[in-house]
Amino acid sequence: MCRLFAVTSEDPLSPMMAFQALDVMREGHDGSGVGLFLSDLGGPFEELKGAPILSGIFTNDGLKRLDQFMMNIGFMTKYKLSIKIPKNPPVGTPRRDIYLIRAYEYPETWEGLSESEIEHRLMMVRLQLRQMGEENEEMIVYSFWPDVIMIKEIGDPLLVSKYLRLDREELQARIILAQGRQNTNYAINLYACHPFFIQGVATMTNGENTAFVPNREFLSSRGFPGYIGYQSDSEVFTHILHFTLNRLGLGIEAYKHVITPLQDNDLEKHPDGSFLRHLKHSCRRLIIDGPNCVMGCLPDKTLFVVQDRKKLRPAVVGGRPGLYAISSEMCGLDVAIPDRDRSRDFQPMHLDTAVIHPDRQEVKICSQTERLPLPH
Amino acid sequence: MFPNGKITPSTLSIKDLSWQVHWDKERCTLCGRCTAVCPVHAIELGVHRKRLIQMPALGEIGQSNGSSSVNQVYYGVRQKTDPAYACVGCASCTLVCPNDCIIPYKTDEADKLRFHINRGGQPRRRGGRRNVRDPDPGGILDRIKFIRISMLTDPALDAGRHEFELRTLLGRILPPEENLKMLKEHGWIPPVREIYPLIIGAMSFGALSPNMWEGLQMGVAYLNEQLGMPVRMCTGEGGCPPRLLRSRFLKYVILQIASGYFGWDEIIHALPEMKEDPCAIEIKYGQGAKPGDGGLLMWYKVNKLIAAIRGVPSGVNLPSPPTHQTKYSIEESVAKMIQSMYMAWGFRVPVYPKISGTSTAQSVLNNLARNPYAGGLAIDGEDGGTGAAYAVSMDHMGHPIASNLRDCYLTLVKVGKQNELPLFAGGGVGKYGNLASNAAALIMLGASGVQVGKYMMQAAAGCVGSESDRCNICNIGLCPKGITSQDARLYRRLDPEKVAERVVDVFLSFDTELKKIVAPLGRSTSLPIGMSDALAINDSSAAERLSIRYVV
């Protein structure tokens, strides 16, 4: 089973905090891999908030191809974080040439483009790099987005983090998502490792998605180039969220209504029953069956956690104003935020969406039975 | 006959028939029930002459004893060998015999009767089902296994205690973006019905006896109103009894319109008085049992009541044309017909076509996918049943449902309309008794729901028809169980209340079995339509053809 940890903090934190939390939960995961998503960055990246950052793993040849490609389309390197790799990787971790974290300057030709056009183009560049990388396995690209850094690797999370020296000063973030396991239900593939990312939306999941095939078929057939991959059955959760936000124009409160809609009796009593019934019908192929706990981060830096309808995976959210964390287990939360009011810890159940908005002042619980903030 | 007698080409012996009636003289009471009940008069009173040799005791042998050869007569049953009266194996004789002394046996080799049932140049017509030896023991649907069992990485569900949403949608579903846009702009959103995924398929009032129809309707009403199961039943082409049209139960009924338009005069006239909209309108363009052939109700069954509902004279054959006469192009005419049917109910009732399984199903589907009004597509495979058809159509025409349905589903997936245009599959579902597993296999291959007819007749009314040519006389209205007869002396045998009870039994047990299939797959929140990763088969060609896993 995966163990997940997500934190949102007023002050930038080192990702090591998340690794320590994962480490105390190690009984619950097999330490086979690590995935990290950092956003609302501190350190040197704070100054580069608008610049897209490319995260990935490259061979030396892959890096050459990357440089050539980026130059051709007019991207100039603005800042890079060099990770000098020690000689001996930990047991189980392959030796890589380059872990790349590099911020770019937008091409001049992109000036004046609308925000949505830029977002589309950034995604397309990432997809193109991913495709190029698949030819000779020279590049693995996780994200190409402003204010987002992602690192994924095989091996024990704590050992990998020490090996890559992720405690370095330059690496600070106010939002951290961390996950402590390769997707061992399927073949080991770094693209199968959580968190998954698309256009500012990142999620990670604990559990197995029984409705994976219909979910995947529906997303793949939307005609949206970003809905590809699916090396892991959990990637659909990220894409469903992206679909809910970007294609349907709905908020995070609607996400659960898409993946686990209410049943008849509840819909009849619901103030938005008619709307929700239409949503349920038209998004029927996006319904999941769990067991799944999904944690994630929205483009506006809101953190959230939801559960499936009845099987549930462990998750607890707690903290204090300015610092909140969501953890698979209580012990992870205890290590991360020991000085919190434990009586206010909350374990979301089958109807809840727990949300921590970017002001980080409280954990807001939305129940599926409540009225939905609908766009007018 | 005598050894030196004359024979004609169609002179058959009992051995040449498909069924041989075995009769036990010792147990027979000569009550005559069997000969009276036989629907095809295959047996008659037999006066048998028998020679006995009576040997006197040794001491009594003398001149006065006369001949030791004595002729006696005994009475019993004789089976006719005239092809017109050949036993159909229904075993009604066995059913009525007080001493169990009579029973038909299937011949142990290929019968010769088949070469002679075309007297007067009239090929064999019959009712029932496809009678072709299945090279696939159990058929393809029975061989599909459900292999994705949840245990550890994904805990299984409890079929008995968890909540399950075993519902499906009938009607055109808009893509999510468009649906929400229409909702916001108060635009027209096609009507969609949430129904139970097992539908009682089209069997007309006329093909079925009044008692059978009433029983089915009562069962459906009970399932809806008492058990909360939104089960729907299709009328078939034969209209709908006027009282039902004007009752609140109409909402459980899918009205069918077919190429003969039988009964639609009555339906149109009832429109202003309808209290409820029907569930949906099914436009029948084809039928799995006799693809490319219209409906057929033979004159035997067209009595006064049927004639009145259908708006025709009684006692005449009612063959519907093979196609709707006004249909010359799918783009234009079919679209218009679908729209006209929508218009009749103010665009509040979903309308969908039903076709027979065919290699051209995908072209039909592609056209429907482009027609924003098409509320679904029902495909009826070659194993579908019928009340009357030419045997050649039934046995040799048509397309198996599994691959036809799968191809159509994958076509929809390719264009991203898999949720928009629901597919319904029929034809041989539960053919060998495995209703729930066949239905689940079709659903996971991509069907939104399944239609069953023959299974309901067998399970809810005791139809004795079989794939090995048993009974199959639905066409002539002599159904020994009263299921497909219009003769009150026959159909009064069938108690509608008991049929209703059995309908409820069938649906409840189906529901439990379906849960027993989806629960271990970890599914409960929605019907696992297209969840093909759960399916496998031990035949690599079939696996490849259906794009499912091959297991041995």
Which DSSP category does A190 fall into? Answer: G
Confidence band for B403, pLDDT divided at 50, 70 and 90: very high
User: Are A291 and B155 in contact (CB < 8 Å)?
Assistant: yes
One-letter-per-residue 3-state SS of A243-269 = HHHHHCCCCHHHHHHHHCCCCHHHHHH
Specify whether the CB–CB gap between A173 and A167 falls below 8 A.
no
**Chain A neighbors of B414, CB-CB under 8 A:** 221
The beta-carbon neighbor of A282 closest among B173, B415, B532 is B173
Backbone angles phi, psi at B394, to 5 degrees: -65, -40
Per residue in B83-105, pLDDT (tens digit) is 999 999 999 999 999 999 999 99
What are the tokens at A14? 């080192």
**Chain A neighbors of B169, CB-CB under 8 A:** 281, 284
User: Are B528 and A211 in contact (CB < 8 Å)?
Assistant: yes
Q: Which residues contact A318 (CB under 8 A, 6 or more apart)?
A: A324, A325, A333, A337, A340, A341, A342, A344, A345, A346, A363
Confidence band for B334, pLDDT divided at 50, 70 and 90: confident
Distance CA B395, CA B127 (A): 11
Residues in chain A: 376
The sign of the torsion formed by the CA atoms of B442, B443, B448, B451 equals positive
Which element (helix H / strand E) includes A179? strand A173-179
Q: Is the pLDDT of residue B272 over 70?
A: yes
Nearest CA in chain B to A311: B155
Least confident of A169-173, A289-293, B135-139, B203-207: B135-139
Q: A interface mutation test: which of B182, B419, B549 has the most A CBs within 10 A?
A: B419
Report chain B residues touching chain A, CB-CB < 8 A.
148, 150, 153-155, 157, 162-163, 165, 169, 173-177, 179-180, 183, 189, 192, 194, 413-419, 521-526, 528-533
Chain A closest-CA separation from residue B524 CA (Å): 7
Nearest CA in chain A to B192: A281
The beta-carbon neighbor of B419 closest among A261, A284, A311 is A284
**Chain A neighbors of B157, CB-CB under 8 A:** 310-311
Residue A28 or residue B373, greater confidence: B373
Mean pLDDT of B147-170: 87
Confidence band for A184, pLDDT divided at 50, 70 and 90: low
What Å distances lie between residue B118 and B12, B20, B123, B391, CA to CA?
Answer: 14, 21, 4, 11
Per residue in B409-459, pLDDT (tens digit) is 999 999 999 999 999 999 999 999 999 999 999 999 999 999 999 999 999
Least confident of A129-138, A180-189, A313-322, B161-170: A180-189
Strand partners of residue A99: A57
What share of chain B has pLDDT > 90, as a percent? 81
What pLDDT, on the 0 to 100 scale, is given for residue B88? 96
User: Are B522 and A310 in contact (CB < 8 Å)?
Assistant: no
Structural domain count of chain A: 1
Q: Which long-range contacts (CB under 8 A, 24 or more apart) does B1-9 make?
A: B9/B116
What share of chain A has pLDDT > 90, as a percent? 76
Burial A38-62 (b: 16+ CB within 10 A, else e): bbbbbbebeebeebbbbbbbbbeeb
Chain A closest-CA separation from residue B173 CA (Å): 6
- Asked if the structure places residue A345 within a domain, the reply is yes
**Chain A neighbors of B194, CB-CB under 8 A:** 264
- Asked if the structure places residue A79 within a domain, the reply is no
The CATH number of residue A28's host domain is: 3.60.20.10
User: Are A210 and B153 in contact (CB < 8 Å)?
Assistant: no
Cα–Cα nearest to B128, from B405, B390, B348, B421: B390
What pLDDT, on the 0 to 100 scale, is given for residue B509? 97
The size of the A-B interface in CB pairs under 8 A is: 111
What pLDDT, on the 0 to 100 scale, is given for residue B215? 97
> Within 10 Å of residue B386's Cβ, how many Cβ atoms?
26
Mean pLDDT of B513-529: 94
Cα–Cα nearest to B231, from B203, B254, B199, B256: B199
Residue B494 or residue B296, greater confidence: B494
Average pLDDT value over all residues in chain B: 93
Q: Is the pLDDT of residue B348 over 70?
A: yes
**Chain A neighbors of B416, CB-CB under 8 A:** 218, 221-223
Backbone angles phi, psi at B303, to 5 degrees: -90, -170
Q: Is the pLDDT of residue B296 over 90?
A: no
Backbone angles phi, psi at A62, to 5 degrees: -60, -40
Residues in chain B: 552
Confidence band for A376, pLDDT divided at 50, 70 and 90: low
Chain B closest-CA separation from residue A277 CA (Å): 10
- Asked if the structure places residue A137 within a domain, the reply is no
What pLDDT, on the 0 to 100 scale, is given for residue B70? 86
Which DSSP category does A170 fall into? Answer: T
- Asked if the structure places residue A73 within a domain, the reply is no
Cα–Cα nearest to B117, from B126, B109, B108: B126
Which DSSP category does A26 fall into? Answer: G
Confidence band for B209, pLDDT divided at 50, 70 and 90: very high
What pLDDT, on the 0 to 100 scale, is given for residue B139? 83
Report chain A residues touching chain B, CB-CB < 8 A.
1, 185, 207-208, 210-214, 217-218, 221-223, 243, 247-250, 260-261, 263-264, 275, 278-279, 281-285, 287-291, 308-311
Cα–Cα nearest to B176, from A20, A218, A168, A51: A218
Peptide bond connecting B496 to the previous residue in cis, omega within 30 degrees of 0: no
Q: Is the pLDDT of residue A185 over 60?
A: no
Burial A218-245 (b: 16+ CB within 10 A, else e): bbbbbebebbbbbbbbbbbbbbbbbbbb
- Asked if the structure places residue A61 within a domain, the reply is no
What pLDDT, on the 0 to 100 scale, is given for residue A1? 64
Nearest CA in chain A to B183: A275
Q: B interface mutation test: which of A278, A283, A307, A308 has the most B CBs within 10 A?
A: A278
Cα–Cα nearest to B374, from B278, B291, B283, B255: B283
Nearest CA in chain B to A260: B525
Q: Which domains does chain B have, with CATH numbers?
A: 14-54+68-122 (3.30.70.20), 140-550 (3.20.20.70)
Per residue in A256-269, pLDDT (tens digit) is 999 999 998 999 99
- Asked if the structure places residue A107 within a domain, the reply is no
**Chain A neighbors of B447, CB-CB under 8 A:** none
Burial (Cβ within 10 Å: 0-12, 13-18, ≥19) of residue B185: exposed
Cα–Cα nearest to B552, from B541, B537, B542: B537
**Whose structure tokens read 């409960």?**
B524
What pLDDT, on the 0 to 100 scale, is given for residue A375? 63
Q: Is the pLDDT of residue B325 over 80?
A: no
Residue-range definition of the domain harbouring residue A363: 4-49+147-367
Burial A315-333 (b: 16+ CB within 10 A, else e): bbbbbeeebbbbbbbbbbb
Chain A closest-CA separation from residue B412 CA (Å): 9
Chain B closest-CA separation from residue A149 CA (Å): 30
What are the tokens at B267? 């339906």
What pLDDT, on the 0 to 100 scale, is given for residue B292? 86
The beta-carbon neighbor of A289 closest among B176, B413, B523 is B523
**Chain A neighbors of B153, CB-CB under 8 A:** 1, 185, 208
- Asked if the structure places residue A122 within a domain, the reply is no
User: Are B524 and A207 in contact (CB < 8 Å)?
Assistant: no
Per residue in B367-400, pLDDT (tens digit) is 999 999 999 999 999 999 998 999 999 999 999 9
User: Are A211 and B180 in contact (CB < 8 Å)?
Assistant: no
**DSSP string covering B391-426, please?**
HHHHHH-S--HHHHHHHHHHHHHHHT-TTTS-EEEE
Nearest CA in chain B to A261: B525
Q: Is the pLDDT of residue B326 over 80?
A: no
Nearest CA in chain A to B523: A289
Q: Which residues contact B111 (CB under 8 A, 6 or more apart)?
A: B16, B17, B18
What Å distances lie between residue B88 and B93, B113, B124, B457, B544, CA to CA?
Answer: 11, 11, 13, 18, 40
**DSSP string covering B272-296, please?**
GG-SS--SEEEEES--TTSTTS--E
What are the tokens at A304? 């959230």
